Structure 1
């Protein structure tokens, strides 16, 4: 567990010097041993031996204030994910949705589950939160792209899975509603919207956002723009869905 927390911190903060105090808190929380500095050095030595077996013995650098994991441009799954995702967003900005979807899907395929899964360290989870939020945002961007490409049936299963994981996710709910509508499952669309609206009202005291309410109204009226539009890009100047 110590080695896991240490490695997670170095990977999540790749190419940045992680202070020894941060590592101490990540590994032992509020109850570090008296020999904490020695224990950290032992953990670092063990990691270096593991890296050496892979021919990368110089990746962990020692600095006066802490340690740094030196990772090249695509030297870790996290860095490659970030690079592929950036390329996908560039393709989307250039109106190349197929390329954007392909690159974004390739980036997400690098994940094997949430970052730092199974590590209970509060500090590790704090730093892992950004990576996990980036992953969740990337899925939402991917679903928008694939809906735009008419692949609603292909992603229905994934949309159900992600919606269950994020019961208050309005953008995911919108995407699932549109995919269901295009799959001729309108009764489930109404159930999805009313379920989310009930949860928001009951547990948070809020109504669904404007864009989700607009989508619901357009589904009720079978608006023809729902056949070829993204569910989440609403022009704030007028009630219409944009491509």
Structure 2
């Protein structure tokens, strides 16, 4: 499995932190956090001064931004000096944060998801489940928590979509292995966290149906239908409507499947 033998130093999948040998290294200045977070989103590539200024000042950099940014870079270099294998260099257009991407929780998450998908392609669902669970365990909360700015918070929401996709693939793989009853509590929790996410609701409905809980599956459809109508003014999508129909028609559960969303 990916990540063995690597020391993780940068944490952005939750509260923003740097750790060295398990000890948190404080980055108290909010602008420095924003600079480092922006660089961590695009490691080992030169990030332009214009891009950094836009993210650090949330789209409205002051006239002094170009002269202020180097001071933040200088302080970050001092902070990161003790971290092995990490270097922050100056280029023609901006700055590059050089590191092994496995030293970030985001890099570790993505590597494990790739490994899981390769295992699924090779027909090894148990290995895929193990990788996906390891990947999801790296999340500690909302991505980029504690970093200022709407632009970086938007990046955090983009990262959240990767987390959602990994959960979808995990539940699909567990159900393919016959572990449906085991994951029902997880599905119940996930739909409470993502109440408008129709794919999770479909997985829960199918899981309940396969466990002989047809009435609960249909109650879940009724719930999401009301919620979508009341709060968004829309009807459930085709997937949920078709799933409701096959449950009402009492199609044998083993013959009911959901579309795959693996990337």
Name the TM tier (shorter chain): 0.7 to 0.9
Structure 1 residues 75 and 177, CA, compared in 2 at 3 Å: closer, same or farther? Answer: same
Q: Please give the secondary structure, in 2, of the residue aligned with 1:53.
A: coil
What does residue 82 of structure 1 align with? 110
Encode CA deviations 1:114-171: one digit per residue, 9 max, x unaligned. Answer: 2212334122123333322111111111111111112223322322232123222111
Residue 224 of structure 2 is matched in structure 1 by: 196
Task: Show the counterpart of 1:133.
Answer: 161
The alpha carbon displacement at 1:89 in A equals: 0.9
Task: Give me the whole-angstrom Cα distance separating, in 2, the residues matched to 1:141 and 1:106.
Answer: 13
What's the counterpart of residue 149 of structure 1? 177
RMSD across aligned positions (CA): 2.4
Contact in 2 for aligned 1:14/1:68 (Cα 8 Å) = yes
Residue 43 of structure 1 is matched in structure 2 by 72
- Inter-CA distance 87–230: structure 2 relative to 1 (3 Å threshold): farther
Equivalents in 1 of 2:171, 2:219: separation in Å? 20
Kept in 1: contact 2:59–2:151 (CA 8 A)? no
Structure ranking higher on relative contact order (CA contacts 8 Å, 6+ apart): 2
Deviations 1:70-128 (A, max 9, x none): 22252322112112111111211222211111111111112212221233412212333
CA distance in structure 1 between the aligned counterparts of 2:89 and 2:157, rounded to whole angstroms: 25
More helix, by proportion: 1
Residue pair 1:148, 1:230 contacting (<8 A) in 2 also: no
Distance 1:112 1:230, change over 3 A: farther
> Within 5 Å, which residues of 2 pair with 1:1-243?
1-56=30-85, 58-224=86-252, 226-227=253-254, 230-233=257-260
Tell me, in whole angstroms, the C-alpha distance in 1 between the residues paired with 2:59 and 2:153.
Answer: 15
Distance 1:176 1:124 in 2: 32
Structure 2, unmatched stretches of 5+, are 1-29
- Give the TM-score normalised by structure 2: 0.78
CA distance in 2, matches of 1:105, 1:89: 13
Find the residue that maps to 2:103 and give its secondary structure.
coil
CA distance in 1, matches of 2:234, 2:221: 14
